[in-house]
Amino acid sequence: MEEQKKKVIFSAIQPSGKITLGNYLGALRNWVDLQSDYNALYCVADEHAITVRQNPADLRKQTLELYAQLIAIGLDPAQSIIFIQSHVPQHAELAWVLNCYTMFGELSRMTQFKDKSATHADNVNAGLFTYPSLMAADILLYQADLVPVGEDQRQHVELTRNIAQRFNGVYGDVFTMPEAYIPKVGARVMSLAEPEKKMSKSSANENSYVLVMDKPEVIARKFKRAVTDSEGGVYRSPEKPGVTNLIEIYAAVTGKTPEAVEQEFAGQGYGAFKPAVGDAVIEALRPVREETERLLADKAYLESLYRQGAEKAAALAVRTLRKVHKKVGFAPR
């Protein structure tokens, strides 16, 4: 595929915590695959994170750790543009302009605003209400063709399209109309403690999730404690959600089919199966954890990567912003 014919794909992730095994297998491994087929931009969305109160030291630490993890999983700074949102001021500048082309009624209908307002009732701030305009700016700044999203985020892409259409209707073709891109389904990883629920770091039970940065002994312990059942057979069944989840995880990290996993452990009990899943996950995550630790220890190198990422992103963003400012009538800088 020739470089100039590649479509632009944009994706962002908030530094609101640690990456789980579920995040990694479900979404982030896909990002690595996408970068060879598209002109890819990947963003650590720290400006979005502050709609909820953050401890400043923790936010800084989580931002850099997440950036390092994105490199460690295989995102290539020579191939993709990988940057921190607040390092590219054009995001906030365009967001203000787009606020003026986003209707109050549209924002009030956003599902995530309703959910977060209920969860953080003591801090329903204007940023929480208008952050879809910032999300639209994130996408439209880079003339993105595609935005990888889950079903829960599709509403934001639709709003972005509405805003772009409204702006283009007044001023001509300024913005590319982005499309939601539903990636190929990664492994759907469920909780180790409550296998009917998705794995989530917000769970109060730390044995229910595995973090990419967990030490090997911690991962091994969590899998040994994983909920199964009293029946004993290693096979998938709606009546065996815990075992089914472990089979899917083992398949995802080894590249084997679930059928092959069932054959491999036929006639063996959970005493052999659960530690084997733990060991396979440890080996799959080991290079990611070790490379993340290496990057975090080399602060100068890590800084050089995110500076270069921000410079490349800004070079693209400034073109769009200059055009927008001219269209709305701002005096040239």
Cβ contact 139:160 at 8 Å: yes
Catalytic residue among 6, 201, 224, 327: 201
- 198 classed as catalytic: yes
**DSSP collapsed to 3 states, 292-323:** HHHHHHCHHHHHHHHHHHHHHHHHHHHHHHHH
How do beta strands 179-181 and 39-44 pair?
unpaired
| CB-neighbour burial class of residue 139 (10 A; exposed 0-12, middle 13-18, buried 19+) | buried
- 323 classed as catalytic: no
DSSP 215: -
C-alpha torsion 89→95→97→98, nearest 10: 150
Cβ contact 77:71 at 8 Å: yes
State whether residue 7 is helix, strand or coil: coil
Catalytic residue among 6, 18, 198, 224: 198
CA distances from 291 to 79, 82, 212, 288, 296 (A): 18, 17, 11, 5, 9
Give Cα 185 to chain centroid, integer Å: 14
- Whose tokens are 């990422």? That residue is 309
Tokens describing residue 82: 């990988």
Q: Which residues pair with 147 in a beta bridge?
A: 180
* Residues 6+ away with beta carbon under 8 Å from 82: 41, 42, 43, 67, 70, 71, 75, 305, 306, 309
Give the residue numbers annotated as catalytic, written as ranges.
Answer: 116, 198, 201
